[in-house]
C-alpha cells in the first residue's frame, strides 16, 4: 500500500538538500523513463541520460553534479548516493503488508518445537520435532521447518520456503518462496560401474542479514557444514553445492551454479549465470562477469571474465575453427622463430 508524503516529509526522515518546491506531494514512484507527474524517480546511471529531457517526474533524487541537467520545474533532492536514497524512500512510501499475528489453526507444530514471542505462523505451515523458532519470526503459508532446524529472530520465510532438518538460519534473514535450504548434497562413489550414494550428514548454516531468492537451493554439507556468511544476498534460481563457504557481504546474481567445496571470499560480486567448478577458492573483493566459467582458483582481487563475445553465427564458426587450431599455430610460430634466430649462413 502506497503512502503519500511530501518532499519535505521525506527529507525530514532521510536527509538531503531540496532544490525546488518541498511541499510537493509524492503520489507514486517510477523509473526515469516512465515516471509521471506527481511521481518520484532517481538518476544515477549515465547510460540513461538520454531520458532526462523527456522525463515527466515531479521529483528526482540525484547527485549534485547531475542536478543541473534537470529543468527548473523538477524538484531535486540532492544526495551523494541517489539509488541508495531512493531505496530508503521506497521503505517510507510503501507500507508493509499487515500480517496476521499468531499461529494459524491449520499449521502443524510438533510438541517439542519451540516458538519464541511474537511469532507469526501462516496457514498449513509445518514445524517439525525439535525445531527452534526465535522471536518475531514470520513463517508464510506452507513454509516448512525441519527437525532440529533453527530460525533466528526477525527472519521471514515466505510462502513455500523450505528449511530442512538441522539447518540453521540467522537473524533478520529473508528466505523467498520455493527456496530449499539443506537438501542433500550431490555425493556419490562408484562401485563396479554403479553410483552409490554417500550420506550427506553436514548442515547448512546461514548467518545474519542474508536474503535468498525464489527457487534457490543450498545443499547440506557432506560431513562439514555449508556456510553462508553475514549479509550475503542470493538471487533467484541459484545452486550452491555441498560444503561451499560464501564470505560475508558477497552478492550472487540469478542462475549461478556453484559446485561443491568452493570457497568464495568476502565482498565478491558474481554475475548472472556464472558457473564454478568444484574444489576451488576465490579471494575477497573479486567480481565475476555474467556467464563466466570459473574453473581455477582466483588468488588476486579484481574483475574476471571468460565470456566469448557474441557475434553472427557465420563469424562465430570461423572464429571457433581458428581457436581449435591455436595450439598448432603456436607450434608453427615457434618453429619460425627458431628459423629466424639462426645465423644467416645456416
The DSSP result for 5-71, as a single string, is EEHHHHHHHH--EEES-TT-EE-EE--TTT--TTEEEEE--GGGGGGTTT---SEEEE-HHHHTTS-
- Asked about 242 being catalytic, the answer comes back as yes
Q: Strands, E, within 83-134: which ranges?
A: 102-103, 108-109, 114-115, 120-121, 126-127, 132-133
Element (H, E) at 326: helix 326-340
Catalytic residue among 158, 176, 242, 245: 242
| Planar angle of CA 234, 240, 246, nearest 5 degrees | 65
State the Cα–Cα distance between residues 143 and 186, nearest whole angstrom. 24
Estimate the share of the chain in helix, then strand, then coil, as percent rounded to the nearest 5. Answer: 15, 30, 55
CB 167 within 8 A of CB 151: no
**Cell numbers found for residue 309:** 563475445
Element (H, E) at 282: strand 281-282
Q: Which residues are designated catalytic? A: 242
Amino acid at each position: 500500500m502506497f503512502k503519500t508524503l511530501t518532499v519535505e516529509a521525506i527529507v525530514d526522515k532521510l536527509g538531503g538538500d531540496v532544490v525546488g518546491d518541498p511541499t510537493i506531494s509524492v503520489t507514486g514512484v517510477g523509473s526515469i523513463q516512465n515516471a509521471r507527474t506527481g511521481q518520484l524517480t532517481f538518476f544515477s546511471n549515465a547510460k540513461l541520460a538520454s531520458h532526462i529531457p523527456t522525463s515527466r517526474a515531479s521529483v528526482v533524487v540525484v547527485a549534485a553534479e547531475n542536478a543541473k541537467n534537470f529543468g527548473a520545474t523538477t524538484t531535486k533532492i540532492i544526495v551523494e548516493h541517489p539509488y541508495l536514497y531512493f531505496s530508503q524512500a521506497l521503505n517510507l512510501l510503501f507500507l508493509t503488508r499487515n500480517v496476521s499475528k499468531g499461529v494459524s489453526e491449520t499449521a502443524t507444530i510438533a510438541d517439542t518445537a519451540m516458538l519464541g514471542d511474537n511469532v507469526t505462523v501462516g496457514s498449513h505451515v509445518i514445524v517439525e520435532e525439535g525445531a527452534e523458532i526465535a522471536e518475531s519470526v514470520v513463517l508464510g503459508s506452507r513454509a516448512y521447518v525441519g527437525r532440529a532446524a533453527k530460525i533466528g529472530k526477525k527472519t521471514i520465510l515466505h510462502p513455500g520456503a523450505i528449511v530442512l532438518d538441522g539447518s540453521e538460519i540467522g537473524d533478520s534473514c529473508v528466505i523467498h518462496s520455493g527456496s530449499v535450504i539443506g537438501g542433500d548434497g550431490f555425493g556419490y562413489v562408484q562401485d563396479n560401474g554403479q553410483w552409490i550414494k554417500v550420506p550427506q550428514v553436514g548442515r547448512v548454516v546461514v548467518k545474519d542479514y542474508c536474503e535468498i531468492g525464489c527457487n534457490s537451493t543450498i545443499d547440506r554439507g557432506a560431513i562439514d557444514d555449508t556456510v553462508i556468511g553475514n549479509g550475503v544476498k542470493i538471487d533467484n534460481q541459484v545452486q550452491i553445492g555441498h560444503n561451499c563457504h560464501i564470505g560475508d557481504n558477497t552478492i550472487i546474481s540469478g542462475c549461478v551454479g556453484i559446485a561443491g567445496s568452493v570457497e568464495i571470499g568476502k565482498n565478491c560480486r558474481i554475475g548472472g549465470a556464472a558457473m564454478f567448478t568444484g574444489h576451488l577458492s576465490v579471494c575477497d573483493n573479486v567480481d565475476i562477469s555474467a556467464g563466466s566459467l570459473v574453473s581455477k582458483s582466483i588468488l588476486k582481487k579484481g574483475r574476471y571474465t571468460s565470456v566469448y563475445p557474441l557475434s553472427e553465427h557465420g563469424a562465430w564458426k570461423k572464429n571457433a575453427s581458428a581457436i581449435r587450431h591455436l595450439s598448432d599455430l603456436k607450434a608453427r610460430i615457434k618453429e619460425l622463430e627458431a628459423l629466424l634466430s639462426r645465423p644467416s649462413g645456416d
